[in-house]
Amino acid sequence: MSTDRKAELAENLAEVEERIAAACRAAGRAREEVKLIAITKTFPASDVALLAELGVTDVGENRDQEAGPKAAEVAGLRWHMVGRLQRNKARSVVEWAHEVQSVDSARLADALAKAVRAARDAQIRDEPLDVLIQASLDDDPGRGGCPLPELGALAARIAQTEELRLRGLMAVAPLGADPAAAFERLARAGEGLRKDHPNAAEVSAGMSHDLEQAITHGSTCVRVGTALLGGRGLASP
């Protein structure tokens, strides 16, 4: 069974890699400019292990309670928290995540910084936490994200801490809208952010259905789940 699953994942990965490479060629960019994060929510750690065998190095999860056990089971990967995060989960998340892509408020940033300090004191981790600000492209509070006019203030707050390293922006295209237009807005926001924070060069945008448009508009990181692992069914988060 695992042999069949590995072959299925290998075929899916090859197709995703070709899509990324084609989008990069069309945009005049090098393939190495775009990182692939495999989003493995609701799928077992065995799938993560198979993806690792196939060369995937970055894995993203939406839920802390699911990600922690997987990260403990499959070593040697770089783990990203990409889902909305409640402040009371900060201490748990910093025990497994190398990067949190969904920071959308000063209160969450402060909670993560405090959690990193506690983890450092407990000798659980010795590195700062890489973070991306989740930018809201649709002004829908139900989907999370920092409003674009407030990005500068949140970035300054993060930059003041020793425990967090601001790496860039993350966003999800609005539902039912042209993703290209949304990603163009994100690209402009990223340019503005880098004027004050030149090391915040990462732009995490694009998923299974819109990664080409995201790469066209400068995404440096695509988050792909369904196209790699298959559909999640009605029970998926």
Higher pLDDT, 235 or 23: 23
Of 195, 90, 212, 190, give the one whose Cα is nearest residue 137. 190
Confidence of residue 177 (pLDDT cuts 50, 70, 90): confident
Residue-by-residue DSSP string for 141-171: GGG--EEGGGHHHHHHHHHT-SSEEEEEEE-
Sorted by sequence, the CB contacts under 8 Å of residue 221 that are 6+ apart come out as 34, 35, 36, 37, 170, 202, 203, 204, 205
Token pair in block for residue 147? 């409003």
Token pair in block for residue 84? 């909305």
pTM, two decimal places? 0.94
Q: Tell me how far apart the alpha carbons of residues 85 and 64 are, in angstroms, rounded to a whole number.
A: 8
Average pLDDT, the chain: 94
Mean pLDDT across 153-179:
95
In contact, 165 and 129? CB cutoff 8 Å = yes
For position 39, what pLDDT does the model report?
98
Mean pLDDT across 115-130:
96
For position 171, what pLDDT does the model report?
97
pLDDT at 233 over 70: no
For position 67, what pLDDT does the model report?
97
pLDDT in tens, 43-84: 999 999 999 999 999 999 999 999 999 999 999 999 999 999
Mean pLDDT across 29-38:
98
For position 36, what pLDDT does the model report?
98
Q: What angle do CA 155, 156, 157 make, to 5 degrees?
A: 90
pLDDT in tens, 180-217: 999 999 999 999 999 999 999 999 999 999 999 999 99
For position 235, what pLDDT does the model report?
37
In contact, 9 and 50? CB cutoff 8 Å = yes
- Whole-Å CA distances, 46 to 2, 43, 67, 69, 78: 8, 8, 13, 12, 16
Confidence of residue 237 (pLDDT cuts 50, 70, 90): very low
Share of the chain above pLDDT 70, in %: 96
Of 110, 166, 167, 172, give the one whose Cα is nearest residue 135. 172
For position 234, what pLDDT does the model report?
38
